[in-house]
A and B are shown apart, each in its own frame.
Chain A
Amino acid sequence: MIENRKGDWFEPRILGFLCNWCSYAAADLAGMSRMEYPPNIRCVRVMCSGRVEPSFVLEALREGYDGVLIAGCHPPSDCHYQSGNLKARRRYYLLRKLLRELGINPDRVRLEWASASEGQRFAEIVKDFTERLRRLGPSPLKVKRVGAE
């Protein structure tokens, strides 16, 4: 398993949940515009950020992802489904509290907005999150799992 104390060559694994209408389209646009970003993220397409159950995020962390990105349409009113993004945001704040109580740095989970025209922004988000997770180091859950094996 890749890790070291300094964390400088540690490559975090990120799981992304992208809403179909804005953020998944932004990720596609980044591709169409050939904008490079680190290959650390794997994305799951959902119709709306409001579909993302907090348990999906917890499950991803438990499975060993170092970070989870949820990306949807800009609030208040870009959401294709009127208010799914607002519901995602409410759940996100509760989730952060829960993570803190579980002893997991809440910064491992990130909620972002990227509209269908913001390919550049999507690429920046992934770059920035990857960098941030590199500094945070491997997920404590992953280290335990590795130790147990």
Chain B
Amino acid sequence: MNDVRADLKNLKIGVYVCHCGKNIADVVDVKRVADFASKLPGVEVAREYLHMCDDVGQEMISKDIMELGINRVVVAACSPKVHELTFRDTLRKAGLNPYLLEMANIREQCSWVHRSDPDRATEKAIDLVKMAVAKARWLIPLETKAVEVTRSALVIGGGIAGIQAALDVADNGYQVYLVEKGPSLGGRMGQWSKVFPTMDCAACILTPKMVSAAQHPKIKLLTNSELIEASGSLGNFKVKIRKRPRYVDEEKCTACGLCAQKCPVRIPNEVDFGMSSRKAIYITSPNAVPLAYSIDGENCLYLKRGICRVCERVCEAKAIDFDQKEEVLELRVGSIIVAIGYDPFDPTPLEEYGFGRYKDVVTGPMLERMTDPMGPTGGAILRPSTGKPPRKVAFIQCVGSRDARFNLYCSRVCCMYAIKDSLIIKEQNPESDVYIFYMDIRAFGKGYEEFYLRSQEAGVKFIRGKVSSIREDPRTHELVLRYEDTLLGTALEDSFDLVVLSVGQVPRADTDAISKILGIPRSADGFLMEAHPKLRPNDAVVDGIYLAGSAQYPKDIPDAVAQASGAAARALIPLSMGQVYVEPISPLIEEDRCGGCGVCVKLCPYGALKLEEREDKRVAKVDEVLCKGCGTCSAACPSGAVRSRMFTEEQILSMISSAAG
């Protein structure tokens, strides 16, 4: 194991410069780069080709390995994040150790960013190749290690995406821990009444799924629970889940509701976005799964001030249990699926629309709750100011979306839900007038365009233009909208008695916390970032962690379900393989150089290093399972004994000097 020095004798380096179609070759003079490379010391052959990653390109490399005895390969092409694994595979198949490969990133970090200066871009590409060749000289053959996988998965979030992912993994026969922060499964979809474009009732299609997830022998459902810590890597994660007490025995509770009737505490109901109230002991919906009441510790009089206990007295099933304590569960899983969903955009900052000041300005999700028979109005769409059905309703699209002040992205659901709600309003009251103010109608899904036509046929009026302001007549609560009709090219005013702001999706409030706990980055829009925008939309940037639903980007239900099944399929790969191959990332420690000072031991963020007694001295020892390969120990070691295998001191120093001034 102590053979950590590169073999500098008999170097035969092959350099392969890729055109990437025209992506590189249009800017960088690839021929000049290859010619230059062929003269570098140790380089046996340098070639350029249209697409190094295609069959012919890879064949070119493997032929050279087999026929010319090439023993170090430099590919100057795209980012190693795109094709390093591809070319490692090429080496492996040709019989060369896959770690004897180095890539020069002359696309993302050269041709794509220096288009207006081809000469200097070519000079830079030559330097990047020089550096890669310099590193290649010092590469060491390394071995991957097979590690047993913990054959279970963690799914975070009990909305439709989390439920689907959990069911798919569990149906394949693996244990799933489904963690939901709230007291019931269902997520956002559980708040909606009818869903587009089929107009079927959300509960009718969601509840059976919630029940199957809760009753599945392979799914352990953990409600009132959240992830608080995670460590480990692909195949073997260790996670800590905090389970808050429900104070109600799920098994005993019959959901009769007597407790809630008698509970004296009344607070705004978050399921109805504050349009109704609930008690401190409550159930989120009559379809809740598990079907059991839950006591909200923040608001319960007994838990806060030690008085009351009315619920306990009236409960015939004796289900109330104030002795329940918070638990922290430690679980081991092989894959993690993140399905934490989204929050609706809060339109309060758009002062011109007066949300929060004018009673009859509501959000799309609030209207949604009104259409629910279990909602605050029993299913009737009513003006909050008068409690009467509206005669003239306006929907304002793209509130908080496609707006440089807030979010640039399109939220992808608002056009369709506004169209759906316009149809419901027309159904409830055919006499009413419904206007939709839009920038573009995006009806891109299956059956969506037809649905859009249906609303036009029903008489919904579509006005292309943005509403600039709303003012309220304080007496009648009538709302006067000022807007531009861009098709007529004029500014107009019109009054309405209900205005619906079609707010989009934003990352859930705890996205930041989850991204930090799991070490997975977010994109500029705040959603969790995928490993590749086109080819790996289900994978987080960290191996073994997968994304489902709106946690990654705004999605409607069919897309969330499709991505959830995709994430489950990805998460099943390590579970069904049973073994994963771990990259040789941990450092090698040269014991004869190690002075046993322990600097590395103190610096390691994972506690992966410790000192071991030898006959005459102490030496550092690395735990390969705990090590994540950051290299902080190598940087700090005063005697150069701790060597990062893929980023050795010689490799980096030779890169520095190879292209210096």
Contact = CB atoms under 8 A, between A and B. Distances in A.
A15 B655 CA distance: 10
B661 interface: yes
A46 B656 contact: no
B109 interface: yes
Interface in B552-570: none
20 contacts: A1-B661, A21-B521, A31-B112, A39-B120, A42-B124, A42-B659, A43-B105, A43-B109, A44-B655, A46-B652, A47-B629, A47-B644, A51-B632, A53-B634, A56-B652, A59-B657, A80-B542, A82-B605, A87-B635, A116-B541
A92 to B, nearest CB: 12
A87 B448 CA distance: 53
A80 B519 contact: yes
Contact of B647 (A36, A39, A51, A87): A51
B516 interface: yes
A15 B652 contact: no
Given A15-B656, A30-B113, A87-B636, 6 more contacts: A25-B521, A28-B105, A31-B108, A31-B112, A37-B114, A47-B585
Most buried by B among A22, A87, A139: A87
Given A42-B128, A48-B632, A56-B652, A34 B112 contact: yes
Contact of A51 (B117, B644, B655): B644
Interface of B: 79-81, 105, 107-110, 112-117, 120-121, 123-124, 127-128, 131, 516, 519, 521-524, 529, 541-542, 585, 603, 605-606, 628-632, 634-636, 644, 646-647, 649, 652-653, 655-657, 659-661
Contact of A36 (B114, B541, B603, B653): B114
Contact of A116 (B108, B124, B529, B656): B529
B630 A50 contact: yes
Contacts of A123: 113
Contacts of B655: 44
A98 interface: no
User: 6 closest A-B pairs (Cβ-Cβ)?
Assistant: A64-B661, A31-B108, A51-B631, A63-B660, A81-B630, A50-B632
Contact of B652 (A44, A50, A65): A44
A82 to B, nearest CB: 4
A1 to B, nearest CB: 8
B522 A117 contact: yes
A43 B128 CA distance: 8
Contacts of A59: 653, 656-657
Contacts of A80: 519, 542, 628, 630
Interface string A49-77: 01111001001100111100000000001
A87 B633 CA distance: 11
B117 A28 contact: no
A79 B507 CA distance: 21
Contacts of A84: 605, 630, 632
A15 to B, nearest CB: 6
B419 to A, nearest CB: 32
Contacts of A30: 108, 113
A13 interface: yes
A30 B523 CA distance: 13
Contacts of A22: 521
Contact of A81 (B110, B522, B632): B632
A83 B605 CA distance: 7
A117 B528 CA distance: 10
A36 to B, nearest CB: 6
B517 to A, nearest CB: 10
A78 B521 CA distance: 8
Given A39-B117, A42-B131, A28 B661 contact: no
Contact of B114 (A32, A39, A52, A64): A39
Interface string A71-114: 00000011011111001000100000000000000000000000
B187 to A, nearest CB: 25
A27 interface: yes
Nearest to A126: B113
Contacts of A63: 656-657, 660-661
A42 B114 CA distance: 12
A129 to B, nearest CB: 15
A51 B634 contact: yes
A56 B629 CA distance: 19
A31 to B, nearest CB: 3
A124 interface: no
B521 A115 contact: yes
A123 to B, nearest CB: 7
Contacts of B113: 30-31, 34-37, 39, 123
B647 A47 contact: yes
A103 to B, nearest CB: 19
Nearest to B135: A44
B112 A32 contact: yes
A117 B521 contact: yes
Contacts of B521: 21-22, 25, 78, 115-117
Contacts of A132: none
Contacts of B80: 45
B647 A117 contact: no
Contacts of B653: 56, 59
B519 A65 contact: no
Nearest to B110: A39
A123 B246 CA distance: 50
A117 B524 contact: yes
B193 to A, nearest CB: 36
Contacts of A47: 585, 629-631, 644, 646-647
Given A27-B108, A28-B79, A31-B107, A51 B114 contact: no
B551 to A, nearest CB: 15
Nearest to B82: A28
Given A44-B656, A116-B541, A117-B521, A52 B635 contact: yes
B506 to A, nearest CB: 15
A109 to B, nearest CB: 14
Contacts of B646: 47
A141 B606 CA distance: 39
A49 B110 CA distance: 22
Nearest to B647: A46
Contacts of A34: 112-113, 115
Contact of A117 (B105, B107, B523): B523
Contacts of A81: 605-606, 628, 630, 632
A25 B541 CA distance: 10
Contacts of A28: 79, 81, 105, 108-109
